Amino acid sequence: MKPVLVVDDEREIREAISEILREEGYDVVAAADGKEALLRLREFHPSLVLLDLMMPGMNGWEFRAAQMGDPTVSSIPVIIVSALGNDTSLKAQSAIEKPFDLAHLLSEVKRLAVTA
């Protein structure tokens, strides 16, 4: 199974989501900002991206613009996980508002993670 990429500048949240997904059997790659996330995205071609929006440096909007502009990774689905909720301009496949319901998060990951 391809990994799930977890992108969040808050270490505690990034590590908590990563651990929960690992316990559910997912491989996880994590990134602390958009720039690191782009590197991981291109290196691992994950099955899914869980993306925070408000991050220092390259934020979620800038990451998503770069992802959408790269045909090698533009089709990888994205779940926005942010206190801001959904931003339809990002054309994400799903959005979950922080603080999130764990069951809902896992349901969306299961629905969208590609097992190729």
* pLDDT (tens digit per residue) in 60-82: 999 999 999 999 999 999 999 99
Predicted local confidence at residue 115, as pLDDT: 57
Number of domains in the chain: 1
Give the span between the Cα atoms of 16 and 35, in whole angstroms.
Answer: 21
Range of the domain at 96: 4-112
pLDDT in tens, 89-109: 789 999 999 888 999 999 999
For residue 116, pLDDT over 90 is answered with no
The mean pLDDT of the chain is: 93
Higher pLDDT, 114 or 45: 45
Task: Using alpha carbons, select from 105, 113, 57, 110 the residue that is nearest to residue 81.
Answer: 105
- Whichever domain contains 91, its CATH number is 3.40.50.2300
